Amino acid sequence: MTQQHHAPKKEKSWKPKPKGPDSGFIWFTGFVGAFIYYVQQVDNFGAGVVAFLKALVWPAFLVYKLLE
């Protein structure tokens, strides 16, 4: 008589689905548009850095204004 050893069953783990290839493009386009909007008001390098940082977080500004 032979003994059969069964490997323990692996539990399925939940993995988040990766974003579609177009979502990165949409966020990049929004970043570029926001940067162009903010950089139009720049008159020195420091203000340019602030414009870049504002362009990174423009969705937060949008939500804030919508909820005002």
* Model pLDDT, residue 1: 55
- Return the structure tokens found at 14: 């939940």
* 2 C-beta neighbours (distance < 10 Å), count: 3
Burial class (CB in 10 A: 0-12, 13-18, 19+), 30: middle
Question: What pLDDT, in 10s, does the model give residues 1-56?
Answer: 566 666 666 666 777 766 666 677 888 888 899 899 989 989 999 999 999 999 99
What pLDDT does residue 25 have? 80
pLDDT value of residue 50? 92
Tell me the residue type at 67: L
* 0.75 exceeded by pTM: no
